[in-house]
Every structure is written in C-alpha cells, then in structure tokens.
Amino acid sequence: MMDTVQRGSVLGCGQAPGLRKLTPQMLGTIEVAETHRFTSDMHPGQVLAAFKAAAPYLGLRPSVVHAIDWLFRFTDAVDWQPSSRPIVWPSAAMQQQELGLGPSQVKNLNRYLVELGLVVMKDSPNGKRYGRRDAKGRIIEAYGFDLSPLAGRYAEFQAAAEEGREERARLQALKRRATIARNGIRQLLETAVEQGISGEEWETLRVASASASRGIAGRSGSIEMEIAVARLEQTQGHMRRCLEAALEAKGPTQAQTSSESVNLDPKGSENWPHITTTNQLQNLKDTVIASGKSSPSRVSPGENQPSSGFASRVNTDRTTNVQQRPGKVRTDSGSLLKITPMELIKLAPRLKPYLNSHAPSWPEIVDAADWLRDEMGISKFIWGDACLVMGREQAAIAVAVVSAKPPTHFRGSPGGYFHGMVSKAKAGELHLARTIWGMRGAGERHLK
C-alpha cells in the first residue's frame, strides 16, 4: 500500500529522477509520431531531401538541419517500410563529439528538435539509447530518436519548398524591375543636370524617387515588394513625362541635337546604333587609336541609321590628330594606351560578365563597356559624348576605370564622375595613361 502511494505521488508530482520534462509542443509531436503509419515504402533520402529543401522557408536554423542530417546517417531504407519504425540510437557521447557540442547543449538541441515536431525521443527503461536488428536488418527493439514525424510531414515539406521557390522567383523578378527603375531614374536625373532642368516640380519628383527607392531590398515578402516597386516605377514615369515636357518647352539645343543625331543606346529597338569607326593607323604617342575592326552594330531591323556624311565627318575629325606610320596598321591584338584588353579586364573585372570570349578584341571591350555603363547609371547621352570626344576604345577604358573605383571614391555617382572625365577630355586635361599606371601600381602593392 505504501509502495503504491509513494509511486503515485512521485509520478503525480513529476519528480522522478532521470525523466524528461514534457512541454505542450513535445506532447503534440509524440501524438503525431504514435498515430503515423507508413502506407507505402518511403526512402529516407527522399524525406531528408524534402526536409532540407523546405528548411529555409520554415525558418529552421542551420544547426537544426545539420543535426537532422546527422541522425539520418544511422537509418536504413528497411526502417521506412510499412510495419516498421525509423528509430536511430547514436549515443549521447557520439552526438556530442561529432556535432561539437557539450552535454547541456546536446540536451537542449534534442528537446528543441522534439518541440519543432521533427523527432520523438523513445526512452528505454534504463534511460540509455540502444537497439537490435534481425538477420534481415529489420529493427527488433530500439530506443532513441524516432524519425516518424519527419515522414508524416513529407507532403508539408514538399509544399513549403515549392512555395518558397516560387516566392524567391517572384522576389528576384521584382528586384530586377527595381534595378531597371533605379537606373532609369538615375539617367533622368543626370540628363536634367546636363540640360539645366530644375524647378519645384522637378525637385519634388527627385525627393519622391529617393523615398520610393529607399528600403525596397529590405522587403521580406513579394506582396509588400510589389507595392514598393510599382510605386518606384510610377515615380519614374512621372519624372520622364516631366523631363520630356521641360525639354520640349525649352526648345532644341545643341546638346539635344547632338544626342538625337547620335543616340548610342543599343538596348532597345527605338534607339540609334553606335557610330561605326574605320581602320586607323598606329599612333606613335599612344594618344587616340581607333580599332582596326569596328564593333558590330546592334540595330533592330527598320531602325533609322545616322547619315553617312555625319559618320564621315566624325571619323575625319578623329583622324586629324593621329600621326600615321606607313605600313603599321594596328589590329585587335595591338595595345591602346599601352594596355591590352586582357590587362584591362584584370584591372577592371566588372567588364568580365559582359564578355563572351576569354580573349576579347577591342570592339568586344567597347560593347561590354556599353552594357557596364548602363549598370553603373552612366546615361546614354554622356556615353555618346565620350565616344565622340575620346573615341570608342578610350571611352570604354574610361568606363572601366570608373568601374574599378570603390563606391566611397565618388562624391556623387559614377555617372557624375564619368561626366567629369568627359569634360576634362574636351579641355585636353584627361590623362588616362597616368590613371592606368596608377591602377597597375595599386594592383602590385595589393599583391605584395
């Protein structure tokens, strides 16, 4: 009688030594494990793969994923058949050693796995983990980690992973839209500065664009981000219409006429193509050297071409300052400003993603620079101006120089910095050769 009373009081108070304290979350996991029954053969690799694919979208820490992955090392395919139960029994000492955790950390981790609904602890009478298999490898008796809850949530893991992949794809598409809108706004702002557009309405739109752009990357869900990106695109549309109205009211200027004659944006069927250069001779002083082969024009069918008279005038102007050496025609394997395409890529690695060749020619460098300048927010008008002033190859080198500088180098934006380089080139004060030597020296010091 006394033994019955003492046992009842001990169990009622939950004070028996060595017994695991249960929480409501753990009780729910235990119920799921006890009610789960395998209706068909499952493969542990499929369950583990589904769990790991869903883990990032379920908010599970990497340590949890690592712990489950480690437990699956001790299970066999036969344990996941009907009438079986996937139980593994690695010792606490082994778990501590292989996971790099202390005794208390392992206990907390195991409790956490149960509370998350991933495993259930099946305790032996003596509190130790052990198990036995028959000659066919089937579990006869086992005490340790019951992995049945993972099998029961297999469909849930698959759905969570698929939903997570779709959400990630939506977020990536929205980020691309945001980048395009930001670049468009930067071009509009630079064009307004170049054309002297100002006023209260334009300043209001400028402030609104900065506000709309702020914090988009920090949006956690596609719904919130969709609203933010739509707002940014709407602001860009307002700015474009405002700028077009201001330019129309201002009337045609020399700068506008030049940009309309030579529009060097290759990224849309409505834009003009690049100016096509002719073969030029080697310059003794490495000043301005045109490529021996012009870059292919990326013009959509039906687009207007610039007049041949204008192109001839541009090429004539560019060759007047070039000292010719008879019989020494430069090819693409030559150097420009004593730098080769390969060395330029090393000094300005941001060019590389836009190149299709491991040994590019100068025309390919020019094309890559044209794409890179768009990424950096350099307007098509400034790029066209630079091509006319410096020549396309030196304009490409100037873009590469800007791309190699850290963001902290610019007081304003990369586009504004490039605009300053073009202004210096017009005044005869731009010395790209010196800049290249400085970049070489910086690279050598970094290697040391």
Helix/strand/coil for 136: coil
Cβ count within 10 A of residue 427: 8
**Every domain of the chain and the residues it spans:** 20-152, 177-251, 260-298+306-447
Nearest to 153 by CA among 113, 196, 212: 113
Provide the pLDDT confidence category of residue 251 given band limits of 50, 70 and 90: low
Cβ count within 10 A of residue 225: 21
Helix/strand/coil for 131: strand
pLDDT, position 74: 94
| Burial class of residue 252, CB neighbours in 10 A (0-12, 13-18, 19+) | exposed
Range ranked top by mean pLDDT from 6-20, 334-348, 410-424: 410-424
Provide the pLDDT confidence category of residue 254 given band limits of 50, 70 and 90: very low
Locate 31 and state its tokens: 């119920």
C-alpha of 56 from chain center: 18
User: For residue range 280-326, what is the model confidence (pLDDT) as tens digits?
Assistant: 433 433 433 333 444 444 443 334 444 333 333 334 333 333 343 34
Helix/strand/coil for 221: coil
pLDDT, position 313: 35
* Integer Cα distance of 206 and 441 in angstroms: 40
- Residue 3 CA: distances (Å) to CA of 18, 169, 297, 363: 19, 65, 97, 95
User: For residue range 150-180, what is the model confidence (pLDDT) as tens digits?
Assistant: 988 888 999 999 999 998 888 888 888 888 8
What's the CATH code, domain 20-152? 1.10.10
Q: Please name every residue paired with 172 in a beta bridge, in sequence order, or none if there are none.
A: none
pLDDT, position 212: 83
User: For residue range 436-448, what is the model confidence (pLDDT) as tens digits?
Assistant: 888 887 765 544 4
pLDDT, position 208: 85
pLDDT, position 288: 39
pLDDT, position 403: 93
pLDDT, position 171: 87
Residue 87's contacts (CB-CB under 8 Å, 6 or more residues apart) are 79, 122, 131, 139, 142, 143, 144, 145, 146, 147
* Integer Cα distance of 44 and 389 in angstroms: 67
Residue 397 has pLDDT above 50, yes or no: yes
Element (H, E) at 122: strand 120-122
- Cβ contact 417:400 at 8 Å: no
SS3 content of the chain, % helix, strand, coil (to 5): 60, 5, 35
Q: What one-letter code names the amino acid at 294?
A: S
* Integer Cα distance of 268 and 356 in angstroms: 20
Provide the pLDDT confidence category of residue 91 given band limits of 50, 70 and 90: very high
Cβ count within 10 A of residue 363: 21
Distance between the two ends of the chain, CA-based, in angstroms? 85
Lowest pLDDT segment from 30-34, 106-110, 376-380: 30-34
- Give Dmax (Cα) for the chain: 120
- Per-residue pLDDT, averaged over 60-89, amounts to 91
Helix/strand/coil for 85: coil
Element (H, E) at 194: helix 154-195
Residue 48 has pLDDT above 80, yes or no: yes
Provide the pLDDT confidence category of residue 203 given band limits of 50, 70 and 90: confident
What are the backbone angles phi and psi of residue 403, rounded to the nearest 5°? -65, -25
Q: Where are the alpha helices (DSSP H) in 251-327?
A: 254-261, 308-319
